[in-house]
A and B are shown apart, each in its own frame.
Chain A
Amino acid sequence: MRRGGAGLRDLAGALAYLAPSLVVFAVFVFYPLVKNAQLSLYETSPLGDLRVFVGAGQYAQLLRDPAFLNSLRVSFLFALYTVPAGIVLGLPLALLANRRIRGITAYRTAYSFTIAVSIAAAALIWEWLLDPNVGVLNYLLGLVHVPKVGWLTDPRWALPAVAATTVWKDLGFNVVVLLAGLQGVPDELVEAARIDGAGPRAVFCHVVIPAISPALFFLAVAATIGVLQSFGQVNILTQGGPVGATNVIVYSIYRNAFFNFRFGLAAAQAMLLFMLVLVLTGLQFTVFERWVTYQ
C-alpha cells in the first residue's frame, strides 16, 4: 500500500505531463461539446450570441422540417451507396494484395494509393471525369450508345456520382484495413480446410470471411461514421444540389451556420447527427457482434 503523499506527488507529476493535452481537449473538445448542446437550446443572433431560450423547440422544428428530413434521407442513401460498395470493391483487391509474390509491395501501394489523395483533389478530378461534354465517362458510355448524362446536374444521378467519387477516395483505406485482416489469418487454418477437402469457394466463405470478420466489422462501422461526416466532395461537386439531392447533413449544418447564420439551429442539427452516429455504432455492434468471431 502506498502512502497518500506519494500518490498525490505522482498525481502532480503526471498532471505536468498531461497538461498540454488536457488544455487543448478542454478548450477544443469538451467546452465546445457543452457549448454546442447549449447553443442548440437557444435562438441565436447572427453573430452567434444566445438570444432566446427555446428548449427542445429547434429539435422539434427540425424533425418536422421537410428540408432536414430530406438531409437525413440523403445521408442514409449516401451511406447505402458507398459503404457496401466500398467493401465489395475493396475485398478482391485486398485478397490479391495478400498473395505472396515478388513485388507485392508495389501492388499494395497502388491499391491503397488513394489514401494519399485529399478529398478536394479527388472531387475535382471526378468533376472532370464526370463533365457532361468533355468528360471521359460520357465518352465511354457514348461508345455503347448511351446518351449523355448530366451526372452532377441531374437530380437522379447527382448522389450516385458523389458516392462514386467517395468510394474511389476511400478505396485505399478499405484495402489497407481488409489486407491487415487477411494477413492475420493463420496459414494453418486455410491449409487444414484444404486438406479436409474444401474447395476455394468453401475456404473463402467458411474460413477466410469468418476469420476477417473483425476487420469487416471495424470497416463497416468506421466507413459509416466517416461517410455521415462527408462534406468536401459535396461542397465542391454539387453544393447540396440539384434541388437538395445531395444535401447531406453536414452540408446542411454548414449552410445553416455559415450562410444563414442560424448557429443555434445548426447546433441542434449537429447534436442530432452526433446521436445518429452513436445509435448507428451501437446498432452495428449488436447486429454484427453476433456473427463476428474474435480469435
Chain B
Amino acid sequence: MRKARRISAAVALDALMVALAIVVLFPLLYAIGTSFKSDAEVNQYPPTLWPQRWEFGNYGAALRVAPIARFLLNSFIQSGAVTLGQLATAALAGFAFSYIEFPGRQPMFFLFLSTLMVPAEVTLIPNYLTVRGIGWLNTYPALVAPFLATAFGTFLLRQFFLTIPRELWDAALIDGCSRRRFLVTILVPLARPALATLGIYAFLSTWNQYLWPLLVINSQEMRTVQVGLAILQSQEIVSWSLVMAGIVMIVAPTVILFLAGYRHVVRGLTAGAVKG
C-alpha cells in the first residue's frame, strides 16, 4: 500500500517535470512552429499551436530578405577569433600566475581580477571613441580586440594549472625543458577540459553580444547575427514567420554548442562562484 503510494507520487513528479519542461521551452517551441507557418496562418485568429500546413519557404525567404548567411559568417569570425584569442592570452597569464614566482605576483593577480568589477557601460563610450579614432568602425578588429583578454579565463586556467602535480614541473626543469615548451607540450594538453570550458563559454557569450556590435558596426555586410536580425523585423509589414525562421537559424549554432557541451557550460557558469 505504502509502496504503491510512493510509486504514484514519483509518477506525479515525473509528469510535473515534463509539464514544466514544456512550459519553460514553450516560447522556443512556439517560435520553431511559427517558422513553418504560412503568412495567412500566422495572422489567423485564434492562433494555431502547431503549423496546420508545413511551409518550408520561410527559411529561403528570410535568407533573401536579409543577408543572414553573411551575418552568420561575421559572427563565426568574431566569436572564433575571440575564443582563440582568449584561450591564448588566458593560458599564458594563467601559467605566469601559477608557475612563475615573480615579485608583485599577488597585486598583479588582483589587478587582473579588478577588471571583473568594471561594468561594460563605464568603458563603452571611451572604447567607442578609441575604436573610431583608430578607424576600426565596421571592421572585424573592432568586434574582436576589446575581448581578447579575460580575467575570468585567467582565473579558471590558473586554478586548473595549480591542480597539476608539481613533480611534473620539477622533472621538466631537470630535463632542461624551457617554460614555454612545458606550457605548450605538457600543460595545455593536460588542461583540455578547462580549455573546453573557457572556449565554449567565450564562444557563447561573444555570439550573443548585442550592444557593442550595434555601436561599432553600421554597414549592412559587417553586421553580426544578433544585430542583423532586426532587419527582418523592420520590414514594412512584419512577417513573424520570417522573423522566427531567422531566429531559428541564428540560435542553432549556440543550441548545438550548448547541447554538446552542457557540462562545460555549467562548469563555466559556476566556476568559483558557488563553492567559493
Q: With A32-B123, A39-B126, A214-B276 given, is the CB distance from A112 to B89 under 8 Å? A: no
Q: How far is the CA of A25 from the CA of B108 in the complex (A)?
A: 12
Which of A187-195, A202-210, A271-279 makes up part of the contact surface? Answer: A271-279
Q: With A110-B25, A115-B269, A120-B210 given, is the CB distance from A14 to B274 under 8 Å? A: no
Q: How far is the CA of A266 from the CA of B198 in the complex (A)?
A: 33
Which of B51-59, B169-177, B189-197, B222-230 makes up part of the contact surface? Answer: B222-230
Q: Is the CB of A109 within 8 A of B262?
A: yes
Q: Is the CB of B125 within 8 A of A270?
A: yes
B229-273 at interface with A (beta carbon < 8 Å): 229-230, 233, 240, 243-244, 247, 250-251, 254-255, 257-259, 262, 265-266, 269-270, 273
Q: Does B96 contact A (CB under 8 A)?
A: yes
Please indicate the chain A residues that have their CB under 8 angstroms from the CB of B118 in the complex: 29, 33, 274
Q: Does A258 contact B (CB under 8 A)?
A: yes
> Which one, A11, A30, A131, A273, contacts B102 given CB within 8 A?
A11
Q: With A21-B154, A119-B208 given, is the CB distance from A270 to B122 under 8 Å? A: yes
Please indicate the chain A residues that have their CB under 8 angstroms from the CB of B34 in the complex: 128
Report B254 CB to chain A, min CB distance, Å.
Answer: 5
Please indicate the chain B residues that have their CB under 8 angstroms from the CB of A286 in the complex: none
Q: With A24-B89, A31-B126, A273-B121 given, is the CB distance from A121 to B229 under 8 Å? A: yes
Question: Count of chain B residues with Cβ under 8 Å from any Cβ of A?
Answer: 90
Q: Is the CB of A176 within 8 A of B269?
A: yes
B7-42 at interface with A (beta carbon < 8 Å): 10, 13-14, 16-17, 20-21, 24-25, 27-28, 30-31, 34, 42
Report A239 CB to chain B, min CB distance, Å.
Answer: 12
Question: Count of chain A residues with Cβ under 8 Å from any Cβ of B?
Answer: 94
Please indicate the chain A residues that have their CB under 8 angstroms from the CB of B66 in the complex: none
The 8 closest A-B pairs by CB, nearest first: A32-B126, A24-B149, A116-B258, A118-B208, A32-B123, A17-B96, A35-B126, A14-B102
